[in-house]
């Protein structure tokens, strides 16, 4: 495969972790857009809200519908049968940052439709301690989002490439793109200027996404935040290999 000009390449990491099973239900769940905490500097990078509208507008002209009787996208044995959250184990990210909080940030969502199946899950990591000079009243919170879409009647390859340099949260946001070899049919990491990171993978008719974002918070009794800057949360690049390993885990766990 020829990577786009200017794209960087991330080397393939080793597979990490074992897998757990997902529950089974016929569900269409709603997402609660309210933040988990008040007064935090910025919301985590959740694409199910405003990003879904942006992505739909871009993808609308890019999807190719197979004529009746023609071959449909190969799902390579991937299947969504229920809550996605138990399948998002995050063993590599948990070892690199902090363990996964088993309580989802938002209610999981599953859409089952003759055209496509889609599942989304949003999780937090347990807040790791912040080292000096910031003291023990600062905390860094990490949010992880997972999304899987199985296209049953349309080939998602065109839309996947059309959004290669586009973050779901905003078309106008500056985004760095790094290609990932030997992962699905095509894969890349998007990094926004505020440090939020998303790994996307295409394999046949299946599209996978894992996102990671971080934000700092000062734990104050009176609500006041001290002058000066807190811990830097903008650079998440050290966790790219862990994200790739956890993506491999997720993909293997959903293949039947």
20-51 pLDDT, tens digit per residue, is: 333 333 333 443 433 434 344 444 444 333 44
What's the burial of 70, exposed, middle or buried (CB within 10 Å: 0-12/13-18/19+)? exposed
Handedness of CA 75, 94, 183, 44 (dihedral sign): positive
pLDDT band at 139 (very low <50, low <70, confident <90, very high): confident
Residue-averaged pLDDT of the chain = 74
143-196 pLDDT, tens digit per residue, is: 999 999 999 999 999 999 999 988 875 555 678 999 999 999 999 999 987 779
pLDDT for position 30: 40
Q: Are strands 8-9 and 175-179 parallel, antiparallel or unpaired?
A: parallel
Burial 177-186 (b: 16+ CB within 10 A, else e): bbbbeebbeb
pLDDT for position 4: 43
């Amino acid at each position: 495969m020829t990577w786009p000009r200017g794209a960087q390449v991330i080397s393939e990491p080793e597979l990490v972790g074992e897998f757990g099973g997902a529950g089974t239900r016929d569900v269409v769940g709603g997402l609660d857009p309210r933040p988990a905490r008040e007064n935090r500097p910025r919301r985590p990078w959740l694409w199910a809200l405003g990003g879904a509208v942006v992505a739909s507008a871009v993808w609308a002209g890019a999807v190719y519908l197979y004529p009746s009787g023609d071959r449909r996208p190969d799902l390579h044995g991937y299947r969504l049968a229920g809550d996605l959250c138990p399948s998002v184990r995050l063993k590599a990210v948990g070892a690199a940052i902090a363990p996964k909080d088993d309580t989802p940030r938002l209610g999981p969502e599953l859409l089952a439709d003759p055209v496509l199946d889609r599942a989304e899950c949003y999780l937090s990591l347990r807040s790791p301690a912040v080292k000096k000079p910031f003291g023990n009243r600062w905390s860094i919170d990490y949010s992880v989002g997972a999304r899987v879409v199985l296209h049953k009647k349309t080939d998602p390859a065109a839309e996947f490439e059309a959004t290669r340099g586009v973050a779901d949260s905003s078309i106008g946001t500056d985004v760095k793109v790094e290609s990932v070899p030997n992962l699905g049919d095509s894969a890349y990491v998007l990094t926004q200027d505020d440090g939020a990171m998303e790994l996307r993978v295409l394999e046949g008719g299946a599209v996978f996404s894992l996102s990671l974002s971080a934000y700092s918070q000062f734990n104050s009794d009176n609500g006041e935040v001290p002058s000066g800057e807190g811990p830097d949360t903008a650079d998440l690049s050290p966790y790219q290999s862990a994200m790739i390993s956890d993506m491999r885990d997720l993909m293997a766990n959903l293949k039947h």
